[in-house]
Amino acid sequence: MEDTTEASLLNRYRMAIIADPQLTDWMSYHQSGLLLALVEMYTDIYMKRSFRRLHASLRPDAVLFLGDLNDGGRNTNQKTFEKNTGRFFEWVFATNSSAWNQGPIVTDALEGEMAAIPARVGAASSNLRKRQSLTEEEKAVNVDITGHYVQRIEAPLDSIERLKIRESGRSLRLYVAGNHDVGFGDTLILSSMTRYKRVFGSVNYEVNVGNHSLVVLDTLALSSKVPSIREESQLFLDQIKQEQSSLPRILFTHVPLHRLDTTYCGKARETDQTIKDRYGEQFQNMVNVPLSREILEDIQPDMVFSGDDHDWCEIAHPTIGGDFIPEVTLRTFSFAQGIKQPAFGMLSLFNPDHKTKNVLPIVGSLEAAGLPASREFAQGSVERPSGDTTFVYDECMLPNQMLIYICYGALFAMSLNWVLIRRFQWMSISRVRARESSILGRWRKIQSVDVIIASSNINSISENNIGSSSSRADQQLDDTTFEEQRDAYYDEPVGPLSLGAAANSSTTVEGKKHLRW
């Protein structure tokens, strides 16, 4: 049974996980000028509003960025890098107003404090002895040793201190390096890595929060065969292996760990395509098989979070001991990275009893609400973390911004059509009114009325003549012939004078004798 009392909720450590924000720049779509400025502005506004809303409503204790912070970070010059990091910190994610730590909480040694890079394994073990021989005073100020670098870790661990930070609307910030930030494998750019560390901190570190051990691992450098690139991350992994953690471990890596191409990602995935084992220039869709196995065996995490794929994927990795380790690949936080509906992850840590391990039981079939195992022809699945575990997570969806823009466009088109139709109707009515108000229009109107009156008078005269005569044979001819009468009728004036002429003609007809038809 999950404890939902106020005291337990207060002691929970809540973490928002944001993957692949990839601030848009010239590398994204090879745009420039006004078009690039518009794309940057609208993608930044979307992420800024989404982050502000999640931070104000969920009030996380920490926010972890799971790599690919800037789209072209590894290839940009210093000026563009500073501009993009300014957008990241000051505009989109509002570090000044919402972050507890303005800089990275885990940093490598300052210049002059760096230990010599060990050339042999024995040198690495000397660093481990130094780590184990830390005094209580050194541990109290959170001085740590990672690989061949001295690291400073300053995280608010006390619940009262966390409560003050939460009430102030601030959160701890943690960062993971992505291949768009520094590169990948043998082609990793060391200058970009140095620049990244200077701004965002270390790429390998372990932080204990919420009675859990959070391990951030640089699988980008670990995937390299070049010693100068791989060495630091390998030393960190070896060091983690020798340390037996007394807390549940949660691993964060930018690149997902290896799984079969046929592994089902779950119903929450937007696309039907699974994650394929593909690689190219400065990217690889998943960590290779030997390295993935080494990471899972050395760290023995209870949970793995990854990014890079831009879509949601939930699986479980089998271990040699028969247990399963769940891994969740999160969606991108940006609507400009190939996903219709972005999202972020929300992780809740609750371990008041200081449990050391979570073991997820096997459930019967994929239809049961479980995580599919990463093995071929697997019929079973692993139970999803629930209230019986020390952590739970969930996917938090963001608005479908492209659909919103399409609706805006449709409404604009409908409004424009309505305005044009109304304009056409108004112009037609205006033409009619203008024609009626003109002199020629008034004359034509009066003329039509005169013709109607004249025709009605003729009809009445004809009816009177026909009614007064019993037959055409009884009519008497006068001195006026029929042809003369007809000519006199057609000689009458037409227009405004026709009314008077019609009156005179009526009196004239009365004085004349009827024609005999």
CA geometry: angle 83, 207, 357, nearest 5 deg: 135
CATH number assigned to the domain covering 6-105+155-399: 3.60.21.10
Identity at 496, one-letter amino acid code: P
* C-alpha neighbours within 13 Å on the C-beta side of residue 97: 10
Q: CA quadruple 373, 375, 376, 379: dihedral positive or negative?
A: negative
- Look at the block and give the residue holding tokens 């979070």: 305
Is residue 416 predicted with pLDDT exceeding 60? Answer: yes
Per DSSP (E only), the strands in 376-437 are 381-383, 391-397
| pLDDT (0 to 100) of residue 113 | 42
Q: Are 182 and 188 in contact (CB under 8 A)?
A: yes
Residue 499: what pLDDT?
Answer: 46
Give the list of residues 6+ apart from residue 349 with CB closer than 8 angstroms, or none: 12, 13, 14, 15, 209, 210, 211, 212, 390, 391
Supply the pLDDT for residue 345: 96
Tell me where in the chain the CATH 3.60.21.10 domain(s) lie. 6-105+155-399
pTM assigned to the model = 0.74
Predicted confidence at residue 157, as pLDDT, reads: 60
Average pLDDT value for residue range 127-137:
39
Does residue 92 carry a pLDDT above 80? yes
For residue 389, pLDDT beyond 50: yes
DSSP 157: -
pLDDT at 232 exceeding the cut of 60: yes
Classified as helix, coil or strand, 205 is strand
Please give the full DSSP string across 223-237, using - where no structure is assigned: T---HHHHHHHHHHH
| Contacts by residues 192-196 (CB-CB < 8 Å, ≥ 24 positions apart) | 192/73, 192/74, 192/75, 193/221, 195/78, 195/81, 196/73
Q: What is the pLDDT of residue 357?
A: 87
Q: What percentage of the chain exceeds 70 in pLDDT?
A: 69
Burial class (CB in 10 A: 0-12, 13-18, 19+), 447: middle
- Give residue 459's pLDDT: 61
For 427, the enclosing helix (H) or strand (E) is: helix 401-437
Task: Report pLDDT digits (tens) over 154-173.
Answer: 666 666 777 788 888 899 99
Condensed to tens digits (0 to 9), the pLDDT of residues 178-193 reads 999 999 999 999 999 9
**Which alpha helices (DSSP H) does 87-226 contain, by range?**
95-98, 121-132, 136-140, 159-167, 179-182, 190-200, 219-222
Average pLDDT, integer, range 375-382: 60
Model pLDDT, residue 69? 93
Q: What's the pLDDT score for residue 481?
A: 57
CA 229/CA 225 separation, integer angstroms? 8
Place of tokens 């995580």: 371
